[in-house]
Structure 1
Amino acid sequence: MTEQEPAESSDEISPRHRSYRGRLLVATPLLGGGPFYRSVVVVLDHDAGGALGVILNQPLDATVAEVLPEWSTLVSSPTAVFSGGPVSTDSALAVGVLRDGDDPPAGWREMYDRVGLVDLDLPSRAVEAGLRGVRVFAGYAGWSPGQLESEIAEGSWVVVDSFDEDLLSPNPEALWRQVLRRQGGDLAMLSTYPDDPQLN
């Protein structure tokens, strides 16, 4: 996978392609090591210009209180900053989930359903109303046009449904196995794949 930002485009994805916006990408053993090893990525945007998402299960040592103290009371536990992906790792991206029936707060940019981006330049008190939870990510994952589709076709990713609980999971390190297990069948079996197959 190249660490590349998707091209800017307002075009809708062409009819022969499928948008994976709002779905989860679950890494398969084909991806091996690197930043996407056993990762679970939520796709925030996907159109003809490429795709963008964040890794949900890689909390970092740094906490939100250390880097963005004003936002520390809004983020869901664990309160770590998460590695969102290998692109723009020196910038922060906040993803939030709206409460059912509540209106979006100031600075809200809807991505899909009740999930959207939160403007970290605003005071936290301006956006806290209506939010069920927030996660802060350092960097993101980006794919150029057609790249994500190629990686899915070659078997690097399994595409499954996402739930709000995935984004706000209190135990993100277990998310890869949890998401696979709930699929049943062969994918549930994949969750038992050893860290090092040579030691199995």
Structure 2
Amino acid sequence: MAMRRSRLVSAACGSGCPFGGVRRGRRVERKLRPRRMVCRSGAGEGGEQPEEGPREPEESGDYASMEDWRSFRAQLIQSGLKTSGRREGEPMPTTQGEGQESSEGDPKKEQESRDLPSSSSMWAHAIGNRPEKGCLIIARPDAFLQSQKYFHEAVIFLVDYSPEKGAVGLILNRPTQFTLGAISFDITSPEDGQGKMPEVEDKDLEEKVNIPMFLRENRVYFGGDVKSAASTLMAVHPFDETIIPDAQKVVEGVYCNGKWFELGEDRGPAVAIDAPKYKFFAQYAGWAPGQLESELDTDQVWIAAACSPELVLKQVIQLPKPLWREVLELMGGEYATMSKEQYGEL
């Protein structure tokens, strides 16, 4: 059975999550975050930002090499997955399904085809028992059935990881009933993982910012069971620092935080059509140094996987297929079988 994880992993995260969110509370001087921000909606203020700045790679060249390796590895694995199921001499499948009407020559249908998201752009594959920044940590089917049930069938995105400092992740598939515009000072979560609104308290707020109107209907996700002393609201999105100032790269195509709260209708992606590209998280999941590796090595708790940015950024409200199941099926092989067994299809 899965080992009990700490509710507050200070060894993994310092005094808070390494990726600063929007926060309230005591001013702490930091190298990358000299200002302290507080989200404010019509209902009140947002969560608090951790006191430790993000950890940057020691060498920019090392980070670029890692990105190149991830891309190359994904291409190799995807190539193997696409060809392994085809018998020798069997023709390559076409993109047009059986009985599907061709859109060729019909401008309207061609435009509709271009507007549809391509499922072929989404991929996932296992990476063994060694986690890495930007990977997924997926709960195994039989884990967390009796306790910490919010981790059952959880898909966690590691926004930060190092063997020396541990790991910080966000649960991608635990939306709460709260929207960004409705939150007050904080969102806390009891043992069952359901969101709970705390009492509003008077705080010494030095600076307040308004949540952009186009983001106020975005759902807030329960990010994990760790609540730092400075409650954190974290944002994940596909926009780099040229669009959202101070956005921090996690992996290619996925960025964290930045000054999204300063966006207006006349700036960058601040239009209603881009609102679904942002995901907001209250709290986070954390592991002390060596803890996640140990849990992975048991082969009873977690599965580590790399994936495409589309899976990380996907909203999981009323999906036709649960994200946990979709990721395992994309991974193929034993993982696809694992998913089918869990849902009684084998």
How does the TM-score come out when normalised to structure 2?
Answer: 0.48
Q: 1:169 aligns with which of 290, 306, 314?
A: 314
The alpha-carbon distance between structure 1 residues 142 and 29, as it changes in their structure 2 partners (threshold 3 A), is same
Matched, 1:63 2:211: no
The alpha-carbon distance between structure 1 residues 130 and 4, as it changes in their structure 2 partners (threshold 3 A), is same
Distance (whole Å) between structure 1 residues aligned to residue 251 and residue 315 of structure 2: 22
How does the TM-score come out when normalised to structure 1?
Answer: 0.79
Matched, 1:123 2:262: yes
Q: 1:149 maps to which residue?
A: 293
Cα deviation digits, residues 78-119 of structure 1 (max 9, x gap):
9311011011174311111127xx835213122222322214
Spell out structure 1 runs of 4+ moving beyond 4 A. 9-13
- Look at both structures and tell me which one has the larger radius of gyration over its CA atoms: 2
Q: 2:326 aligns with which of 165, 178, 196?
A: 178
Q: 1:98 aligns with which of 239, 255, 270?
A: 239
Q: 2:204 maps to which residue?
A: none
Matched, 1:53 2:169: yes
Is the CA contact 2:175–2:316 (under 8 Å) kept in the aligned structure 1? no
Q: Which amino acid aligns with 2:333?
A: G
The alpha-carbon distance between structure 1 residues 193 and 134, as it changes in their structure 2 partners (threshold 3 A), is same
Distance (whole Å) between structure 2 residues aligned to residue 127 and residue 27 of structure 1: 41
Kindly report the root-mean-square deviation, in angstroms, between the aligned alpha carbons of the 2 structures: 3.4
Seq. identity, %: 26
Q: How far off is 1:171 after superposition?
A: 3.3
Q: 1:134 maps to which residue?
A: 278
The alpha-carbon distance between structure 1 residues 12 and 96, as it changes in their structure 2 partners (threshold 3 A), is closer
**Structure in which a larger fraction of residues adopt helix:** 2
Q: 2:248 aligns with which of 106, 109, 114?
A: 109
Q: 2:140 aligns with which of 19, 28, 49?
A: 28
Q: How far off is 1:31 after superposition?
A: 2.1
Is the CA contact 2:136–2:305 (under 8 Å) kept in the aligned structure 1? yes
> Secondary structure, in 3 states, of the residue corresponding to 2:182?
helix
Which stretch shows the higher mean deviation, 144-153 or 131-140?
131-140
> Secondary structure, in 3 states, of the residue corresponding to 2:264?
helix
Which stretch shows the higher mean deviation, 108-117 or 45-54?
108-117
Cα deviation digits, residues 102-142 of structure 1 (max 9, x gap):
83521312222232221468423399625862110011111
Distance (whole Å) between structure 2 residues aligned to residue 165 and residue 127 of structure 1: 26
Structure 2's unaligned 5+ residue stretches are: 19-54, 59-128, 185-209
Cα deviation digits, residues 37-63 of structure 1 (max 9, x gap):
100001111111000110000101111
The alpha-carbon distance between structure 1 residues 108 and 127, as it changes in their structure 2 partners (threshold 3 A), is farther
Q: Which amino acid aligns with 2:291?
A: Q
Q: 2:159 maps to which residue?
A: 44
Distance (whole Å) between structure 2 residues aligned to residue 126 and residue 112 of structure 1: 27
Distance (whole Å) between structure 2 residues aligned to residue 96 and residue 144 of structure 1: 26
Q: Which amino acid aligns with 2:264?
A: R
Structure 1's unaligned 5+ residue stretches are: none
> Secondary structure, in 3 states, of the residue corresponding to 2:284?
strand
Distance (whole Å) between structure 2 residues aligned to residue 127 and residue 52 of structure 1: 34
Q: How far off is 1:19 after superposition?
A: 4.8
Distance (whole Å) between structure 2 residues aligned to residue 72 and residue 130 of structure 1: 13
Count of aligned pairs between the two proteins: 190
The alpha-carbon distance between structure 1 residues 185 and 92, as it changes in their structure 2 partners (threshold 3 A), is same
